[in-house]
Amino acid sequence: MYEDKTLVCKECGEEFVFTAGEQEFYAERGFQNEPQRCKSCRDARKAAARGPREYFTAVCAECGNEARVPFEPKTDRPVYCSDCFAKIRENN
């Protein structure tokens, strides 16, 4: 039904593939226009619109090392560094 299409990014001018799966996804959602930007240009545009992300420093409740997190830590909830957070998620 759908076939991969090669499109040209209006931002950088590079060619990118609009896959059959992406076309089906667009059709299911009712999108009528094809994408005009490649993935890297779309991602860059979203990041620019969102602005720079602010990080906060906290002490990991598990190992005591410094943790940089994208939210303001609250005193009533533990904060974990990336390594400890991954271990906790793995065990649950």
pLDDT for position 92:
77
For the chain, give the longest Cα–Cα distance: 56
> Using CA atoms, how far apart are residues 85 and 76, in angstroms rounded to an integer?
17
Q: Which residue has the tokens 């979203």?
A: 46
Q: Rounded to the nearest 10 degrees, how much is the dihedral formed by the CA atoms of 35, 37, 38, 40?
A: -130
pLDDT for position 4:
97
Q: Rounded to the nearest 10 degrees, how much is the dihedral formed by the CA atoms of 28, 29, 30, 33?
A: -100
pLDDT for position 1:
81
pLDDT digits (tens, 9 = 90+) for 33-89: 999 999 999 999 998 888 788 999 999 999 999 999 999 998 889 999 999 999 999
Determine the straight-line distance between the first and last CA of the chain, rounded to whole angstroms: 42
